[in-house]
Structure 1
Amino acid sequence: MKSEGSSGGCSASAISVSGLGKRYQLGTSPQQGYQRLSESLLQWVRNPVKALSGSRSEAEDFWALQDVSFEVKQGDSVGIVGRNGAGKSTLLKILSRITEPTTGRLVLRGRVASLLEVGTGFHPELTGRENIYLNGALLGMQRSEIRSKFDEIVAFAEVDKFLDTPVKRYSSGMYVRLAFAIAAHVQPDVLIVDEVLAVGDAVFQQKCLGRMSELSKRQHTTVLFVSHQMEALLRLCQRGILLHQGRVVAEGTMEAVSREYHRAFASGRTSADCRTMQRAAFLRGQAVIDEVELEANGAGVPFAQRLIFRVYISRRGEASQIHLCWAIFSAGGHEVASSRVALPDQSRGGRFSVPHLRLAPGRYSVNFGIKSERGDEDLVEHALMFDVMANETSAEVWADSIRASTIPETELLEVLPA
């Protein structure tokens, strides 16, 4: 690992990574010849036969990162995405000089500030005031520099009432506010931020994103940002890197990497055969739902794009003036939108669209039902599941301002004949 001074030019490379790899050992290595008494006793209790034989489990190599290479220009904002266990946090720890790589070469230019875990660099027994000086010193600030930035840090963190309180009494949100305020006012050449910002509330997250954007655009600070909130990444980052099983599998614009992430890892159910699904006893069953389908590609539905459903039904008796009903639920089980559309008599279903539904990016499920003038004919719960994908439009609107209508417009596009 190598660190160099700031080059001063905006087009110079701030981070250069070549063939980076990090290996960990799982299990017990046969080469470990010394064990404490407590470890030997615990091993005997767990497996006395194995302990008496003296055999030990073989160590297994686990590569958290393999052959990772990329380059980040000074002043760029780069989002790093991937599923849990993809190697994102390991990469940031190497870039933050917390751990050494097993293989490869890393060059960092300038002062690096990182925010990886709640409370990192804080002493729980010290007050907020004392920890500002301690954490600032760990990030390379001189005492005079910390003193000149002190009021700005406190104002940003909004912890002025608790400055002389030991931080062990702080909430996780207060920890993060203070830690980010210090890191963001170091005036670093490289700012590295992990998912830790998710601990803060929506207002604070907006404030942090604004500060990171200001650092990138006005002070040419290089920002590396790991988050599962794709709207935040699209709003802040121009470029993206997708990691999977410790390797870089996609790199490019943030929007292109976002699409690739959804395409590769989408696990929704956009079509279903409902004939074998269980039904409630109170349903009349004179008209039932056979199949349902959401017209979408493998990656899901982009934000603000209309939803188009196909529903096939069977009629088993007299059920006139029927309505096809639907309801969309969030991942937390809350109904966010519902409506109905009338189907002509004798039809076998319909293809209909919901053109003006602006669902926040995330996972949703859909219930379908049939109502007639005599009552509830059929109901299929959670028949479909789909993802709404973040894009540049959703990043501009921001998730907290997106609300679905309770009864949105539903347009019947096509009647499926009998």
Structure 2
Amino acid sequence: MARKFLYFFAFCIILVIAGAFLLARFPAELTRLAMVPTAAFTPVTPLPANAYEDPKLWYSRPGIGTSDPARWQPAYAGDRGLLPTPAEPKQQFAVFFVHPTSYVNRASWNAPLENGGDPEAERIARIYLRGMASPFNAATEIWAPRYRQATFGAFLTDAPEGRQAIDAAYADVREAFRFFVSSVDPKTPIVLAGHSQGALHLKRLLAEEVKGTPLAQRLVAAYVVGWPVSPLHDLPVMGTPACTAADQTGCVLGWSSFGEPADPSLVLEAYESAPALDGKLPGAEPMLCTNPLTGLTGGTAPASANLGTLVPEETLEKGTLQPGLVPATCDKRGLLLIGPAPEMGSYVLPGNNYHVYDLPLFWANTKADVARRVGAWKPAR
């Protein structure tokens, strides 16, 4: 169970609710008290096989038009200097994007879909998509499903209800993915992307729906961001190698961003003690770290290589691109260090954890990375 990984992200909420003193003495107990549902788990009825034919079950898909949050395009702030504009892909491609946890209500284990869903979770999900799915907006098609995601507290408990909630969320994502595959031209290359809970579900999709199938030949890249990926215990099960070249296709990219000085102790403890896809504990093995400024596994790059960070306004609903703002270095633990903590708003988590900003920090480079890999992709012969 990956529950400990998200303890860290609940701490900042508990800090406000219960105060630093109580949190220091009873962190696990207070986290569970504030976030884990107390209601009995209600089995989630599987969606009908044709459920995702309904446009209402998608935040993004062809035909939505100007209200599609993933199609938002930020502008650059001020003079861009001599930095190049990210190239547009020269061929069509389709993106399947799974958004991170926006449902934190402890009234139920899974987010509702009926009657428009939970209003606050829906609002936050659209904000996430504007900031995190928009780097992929050069795609011919972007598909981002609504799904009955596990509530935040489901990751913070060893109770079977937590695992059941996560499995139910994955089942929705899987059904949405199958509809996506059936809807996209079979000759079109695909990009998979997701963040946090969305990235967790992508890992399983790659292992169960892509590995060993014709889809693997169509995979340009998988951006599995904001959730740990073990090179030894996850990637072989996923059947997809790490990206070790900037124009490599059929590979995985992933990173977790920290400003300096960084205190990633809780994240590392969770990673070491949570079973990977092969059922084994990663231990002290470094997690996968792609440097988003170079597109390579590991290494360092200066801030001058950053084509544009999406710096949000306080509400995260709008923002502007600022080039040259942050560098990137993969350290020996597999964490992505971004230098002295930049000002990105009030959602930086304790320990200088820039989890919410993993993709916005490297917005323009991610867009350029996608274009480069799509351009290098070749159909199977």
One fold, TM greater than 0.5? no
Smaller-chain TM-score bracket = under 0.3
Higher fraction of helix = 2
Indicate the structure (1 or 2) with the bigger Cα radius of gyration: 1
Larger relative contact order (C-alpha < 8 A, sep ≥ 6)? Answer: 2
| More strand as a share of residues | 1
Q: TM-score, normalised by structure 1?
A: 0.25
